Copies of this chain bind each other. A is one copy, B any other.
Amino acid sequence: MLDWHGKGLSVMEMSHRSDDYVAIAEKAEQDLRDLLSVPSNYKVLFLQGGASQQFAEIPLNLLPETGTADYVETGIWSKKAIEEARRFGNINVAASAKPFDYLAIPGQNDWNLTKNAAYVHYASNETIGGLQFDWVPETGDVPLVVDMSSDILSRPIDVSQYGLIYAGAQKNIGPSGLVVVIVREDLLGRARSSCPTMLDYKVSADNGSMYNTPATYSWYLSGLVFEWLKEQGGVEAMEQRNRAKKERLYGFIDASEFYTNPISVNARSWMNVPFRLADERLDKAFLAGADARGLLNLKGHRSVGGMRASIYNALGLDAVEALVGYMAEFEKEHA
Contact = CB atoms under 8 A, between A and B. Distances in A.
Interface of A: 1, 8-9, 12, 15-18, 48-53, 55-57, 60, 84, 87-88, 168, 170, 175-178, 193-194, 196-199, 211-218, 294, 296-297, 302
A9 B213 contact: no
Contact of A216 (B51, B57, B177, B296): B177
For this chain, the copies found in one complex come to 2
A196 B60 contact: yes
A90 to B, nearest CB: 15
A51 B212 CA distance: 8
Nearest to A215: B177
A221 to B, nearest CB: 8
Nearest to A149: B213
A48 B211 CA distance: 14
A181 to B, nearest CB: 14
Contact of A176 (B8, B50, B52, B217): B217
A97 B138 CA distance: 57
A140 to B, nearest CB: 29
A56 B203 CA distance: 14
A8 B168 CA distance: 24
